[in-house]
């Protein structure tokens, strides 16, 4: 892995480059916090709109621009671009299937010390349930960059979940074929596969190395295309003895539920364990590792779940 970098900068920098070539591309932001926005605002003032702390209005303005033929990207903190704007997204963007990209930074527990108002433990379930909506969750900057290419070159109604903290690169490059597949089989194994998205892919890889040192055959799959979910994924996971999913989401309707449903419908179901936030979770302050330990989704929890599943399947 290379040194950590900000995936939001990789994403915004490419959209800026695309906007220089495409004067029809308009970037709306409810946030000035990203340094990558500075040159966009300065160099392309006619293509950058700061909506202020009014995300719901930003969605409606973006809808109007899209109806007028503009290519629109909407950017804000994840807890405010989805939960706060859900009615506008559902009743306006989805109703007309407008080709708008919604980009949320700090997904999941990314704003750890800000506690519940800034958590999004339900954004995957919420956006999966929206008509026409694609859902993307990169685990590193090269994947975020590839998704930015997709957004610029093939407009569609999408929600892109970005990390706010620097993340080590997992891939040297992510191609359009990789995006079309929607996942990457990072480590191949036989007995059990750990499936994750976004931030927790890095912890899944750490667990795989730990268990491999114990002589266990463990695979890891990074799912960056959450909706639509690849039809091939169920077949891949069905080749393992058991599957563990881990997420920063409430288990009801979240990431793991989608994987489980796809395997069941494909007739590929295997012993399955979902790790995530459980209904009734306590809200507390702490950094991300502290929260992961509290909610049972930290590295030791993933490793323990994998070992337990291995015992179950013999």
Domain limits, the chain: 7-162, 182-313
89-131 per-position pLDDT tens digit? 999 999 999 999 999 999 999 999 999 999 999 999 999 999 9
Share above pLDDT 90 across residues of the chain, in percent, rounded to a whole number: 91
DSSP for residue 230: P
Reply yes or no on whether the pLDDT at 312 is more than 80: no
Reply yes or no on whether the pLDDT at 1 is more than 90: no
CA distance 20 to 112: 35
> Among 37, 39, 108, which Cα is nearest to 73's?
37
Predicted confidence at residue 285, as pLDDT, reads 87
Q: How confident is the model at residue 314 (pLDDT cuts 50, 70, 90)?
A: low
The tokens describing 169, both together, are 């690169």
Share above pLDDT 70 across residues of the chain, in percent, rounded to a whole number: 98
Question: Which architecture characterizes domain 182-313 according to CATH?
Answer: 3-Layer(aba) Sandwich (3.40)
Predicted confidence at residue 2, as pLDDT, reads 56
Q: How confident is the model at residue 294 (pLDDT cuts 50, 70, 90)?
A: very high
Least confident of 10-19, 33-42, 104-113, 141-150: 33-42
> What is the chain's mean pLDDT, rounded?
95
CATH node for 7-162: 3.40.50.970
- What is the mean pLDDT of the segment spanning 269-289? 95
Fold matches, 7-162 and 182-313: yes
């Amino acid at each position: 892995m290379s040194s950590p970098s900000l995936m939001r900068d990789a994403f915004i920098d490419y959209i800026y480059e695309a906007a220089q070539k495409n004067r029809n591309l308009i970037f709306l932001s409810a946030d000035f916090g990203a340094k990558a926005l500075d040159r966009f605002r300065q160099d392309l003032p006619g293509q950058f709109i700061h909506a202020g702390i009014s995300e719901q209005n930003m969605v409606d303005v973006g809808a109007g621009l899209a109806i007028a033929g503009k290519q629109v990207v909407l950017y804000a903190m994840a807890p405010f671009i989805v939960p706060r704007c859900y009615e506008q997204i559902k009743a306006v963007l989805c109703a007309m299937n407008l080709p708008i990209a919604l980009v949320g930074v700090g997904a999941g527990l990314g704003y750890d010390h800000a506690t519940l108002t800034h958590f999004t433990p339900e954004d995957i379930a919420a956006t999966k349930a929206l008509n026409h909506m694609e859902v993307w969750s990169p685990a590193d900057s090269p994947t975020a960059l590839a998704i930015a290419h997709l957004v610029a070159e093939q407009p569609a109604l999408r929600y892109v979940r970005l990390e706010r903290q620097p993340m080590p690169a997992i891939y040297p490059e992510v191609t359009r074929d990789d995006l079309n597949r929607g996942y990457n089989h990072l480590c191949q194994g036989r007995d059990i596969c750990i499936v994750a998205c976004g931030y927790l892919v890095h912890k899944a890889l750490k667990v795989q190395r730990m268990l491999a040192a114990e002589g266990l055959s463990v695979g890891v799959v990074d799912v960056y295309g959450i909706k639509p979910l690849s039809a091939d994924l169920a077949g891949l996971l069905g080749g393992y003895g058991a599957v563990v999913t881990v997420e920063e989401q409430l288990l009801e309707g979240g990431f793991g539920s989608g994987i489980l449903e796809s395997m069941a419908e494909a007739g590929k179901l295997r012993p399955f364990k979902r790790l995530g936030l459980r209904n009734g979770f306590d809200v507390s302050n702490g950094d991300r590792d502290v929260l992961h330990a509290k909610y049972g989704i930290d590295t030791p929890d993933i490793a323990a779940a994998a070992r337990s599943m291995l015992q179950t399947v013999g």
